[in-house]
């Protein structure tokens, strides 16, 4: 047991770099998906209800409910509405920003100053994402009736999409670890 503890203690910098790589993979994957219609449609409730982001869209907030595309399905009138709303253009831009944050974080392995900003941006992006748990009505399971054994809706019952959002708590912490490690390296260079 002591040898395992010793190995883990000596491997911290390796694990921090693994965290940088992990953030990179998540950011590039999620950011890349923003170029696809189903992903752009899927973020509309979050963006439309966010006081920090809703101005990116052209249509009124509750209107999107009438133009939801089920994942994997294409309904042309819904796509036309999303084009007019700016859904796809915003999603492309957001995807590009997310990919850049992932790249900055990964580059922190070799360039501490770049990694510092990547870590801070990861933290900031995660903090904004977590606000969706407050601003988006669809984040909690709706009351659709039923009473066996007891109704399970509202807070704290997260809906499918919001179960992915809550994981940003981990990304937020990882971003600060990356920024802290980079800051320590920057200070040691002086």
C-alpha to C-alpha distances, 95 to 6, 33, 70, nearest whole angstrom: 40, 7, 21
Whole-angstrom distance, CA of residue 181 vs CA of residue 121: 14
Return the pLDDT at 157.
81
**Global confidence as pTM:** 0.90
Residue 6 structure tokens: 């010793």
For residue 28, is it within any domain?
yes
Residue 40 structure tokens: 């752009």
- Range of the structural domain that residue 117 is part of: 11-189
Q: Which of 68, 23, 24, 77 is nearest to 44 (CA)?
A: 68
Residue 97 structure tokens: 């920003």
One pLDDT digit (tens) per residue for the chain, 190 residues: 889 999 998 999 999 999 999 999 999 999 999 999 989 998 999 999 999 999 999 988 788 888 988 777 888 999 999 999 999 999 999 999 999 999 999 999 999 999 999 999 999 999 999 999 999 888 888 777 766 666 787 788 888 878 889 999 999 999 999 999 999 999 997 6
For residue 60, is it within any domain?
yes
Q: Which of 61, 71, 84, 58 is nearest to 135 (CA)?
A: 61
SS (H, E, C) 73-129: CCCHHHHHHHHHHCHHHHHHHHHHHHHHHHHHHHHCCCCHHHHHHHHHHHHHHHHHH
Return the pLDDT at 147.
66
Q: Which of 70, 46, 48 is nearest to 131 (CA)?
A: 46
Return the pLDDT at 122.
98
Whole-angstrom distance, CA of residue 178 vs CA of residue 182: 6
For residue 2, is it within any domain?
no
Whole-angstrom distance, CA of residue 121 vs CA of residue 127: 10
Residue 11 structure tokens: 């491997």
For residue 167, is it within any domain?
yes
For residue 55, is it within any domain?
yes
In the chain, how many domains are there? 1
Q: Which of 116, 129, 113, 112 is nearest to 27 (CA)?
A: 129
The distance between the two most distant Cα atoms of the chain, rounded to a whole number of Å, is 64
19, containing H or E segment: helix 12-33
């Amino acid at each position: 047991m002591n040898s395992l503890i010793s190995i883990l203690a000596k491997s911290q910098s390796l694990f921090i770099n693994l965290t940088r790589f992990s953030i990179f993979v998540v950011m590039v994957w999620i950011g890349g998906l923003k170029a696809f219609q189903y992903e752009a449609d899927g973020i509309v409730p979050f963006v439309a209800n966010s006081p920090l982001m809703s101005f990116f869209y052209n249509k009124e907030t509750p209107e999107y409910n009438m133009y939801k595309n089920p994942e994997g399905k294409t309904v042309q009138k819904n796509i036309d509405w999303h084009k007019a709303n700016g859904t796809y253009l915003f999603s492309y831009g957001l995807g590009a920003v997310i990919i850049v944050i992932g790249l900055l974080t990964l580059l922190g392995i070799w360039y501490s100053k770049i990694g510092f900003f990547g870590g801070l941006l990861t933290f900031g992006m995660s903090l904004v994402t977590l606000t969706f748990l407050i601003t988006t009505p669809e984040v909690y399971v709706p009351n659709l009736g039923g009473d066996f054994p007891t109704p399970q809706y509202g807070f704290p019952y997260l809906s499918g999409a919001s179960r992915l959002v809550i994981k940003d708590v981990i990304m937020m912490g990882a971003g600060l670890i990356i920024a802290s490690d980079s800051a320590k390296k920057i200070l040691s260079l002086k």
